[in-house]
Amino acid sequence: MSTTVTFLGLGVMGFPMAGHLAHAGFNVRVYNRTAAKSQQWAEQYAGTVHADVPSAVAGAEVILTCVGADPDLISLYEGPDGIIANAAAGAVLVDHTTASADVAEHLAAKAREAGLGFVDAPVSGGQQGAENGQLTIMCGGSDADFSRAKPVMNCYAKALNLMGPVGSGQKTKMVNQIAIAGLLQGLSEALHFAERAGLDAEKVVEVISQGAAQSWQMNNRAGTMLAGKFDHGFAVDWMRKDLSICLDEAERNGAALPATALVDQFYGDVQAMGGRRWDTSSLLERLRRIRPV
């Protein structure tokens, strides 16, 4: 393909996502704040490593980002050395970061002033989904911008949907995180109860996963949770960042999120236990330490 795409941010998600673009035959450019990560990427995939943002984005038709949080986005997109000041007129900017709807709307407005398109496109599926090209992508933007970016995002998407105007992707991701937080707490309590009751917890999961209690989290995490393995990618620190965004947005729109606020506090307990880098299913470990089996 002749389309030139730039991917900025080669973390646990961005690294394989950019790799899928290379495998699809796009002319891929990459930039990462830590240059060694870019070099590591180039050893595995076909593409061009750039040492700075201006050279990475100049002339690219689609520019994708996947970084940490709102302040990282502002730093990356704005200023004389940022994406907006250096992208070619008509380029479409696609942000895969889980961030606030406010920052998406702010960056979209700045992009429009510069003659650029913008799509907020947070993802769900974790590191495994990124590596397998099986991410769920929730987008906000215009039909035209989404249509131009869609063939690029399809390289690593299982599901790809335009949810509404800019900011809608981020708000949909908030819904996703709210649902996951509640599911994981419920699953953790169920497994803890089974252990305390002296049941064969693995057999219990096998039985109840055939009924109304079944969920993706149960199918994919119950076994590792029971084994005390909490190294499946999406860290507690990241989840707390996401839940903070959800709770802030709820303050603005008037939504009541009592369970989400409580689970956020529980994740704070996990952090205090030393589990900042454990994955989000580690809520079970908190219960085990409160009431050991």
pLDDT for the residue numbered 167: 98
Q: What is the mean pLDDT of residues 264-289?
A: 98
**pLDDT tens for residues 167-224?**
999 999 999 999 999 999 999 999 999 999 999 999 999 999 999 999 999 999 999 9
Q: How far apart are CA 83 and CA 113, in angstroms?
A: 13
For the CA atoms of the chain, what is the radius of gyration?
20
Q: Phi first, then psi: what are they for 161, rounded to 5°?
A: -140, 140
Task: List beta partners, residue 164.
Answer: 140
37 catalytic per annotation: no
The continuous run of DSSP H or E covering 156 comes out as none
pLDDT for the residue numbered 22: 98
Does 293 or 221 have the greater pLDDT score? Answer: 221
Q: How far apart are CA 265 and CA 268, in angstroms?
A: 5
Count of CB atoms situated within 10 Å of the CB of 264: 18
Determine contact, residues 148/116, Cβ cutoff 8 Å: no
Question: Which region among 6-10, 84-88, 91-95, 126-130 has the lowest average model confidence (pLDDT)?
Answer: 126-130
Of 173, 203, 229, 241, catalytic: 173
Q: What is the mean pLDDT of residues 27-42?
A: 97
Q: How far apart are CA 275 and CA 209, in angstroms?
A: 27
Straight-line distance from the first to the last Cα atom of the chain, in angstroms, rounded to the nearest whole number: 57
| Mean pLDDT, the chain, whole residue set | 97
**pLDDT tens for residues 69-81?**
999 999 999 999 9
pLDDT for the residue numbered 268: 98
**pLDDT tier for residue 233 given thresholds of 50, 70 and 90:** confident
Count of CB atoms situated within 10 Å of the CB of 40: 15
Stated pTM of the model? 0.95
Count of CB atoms situated within 10 Å of the CB of 46: 13
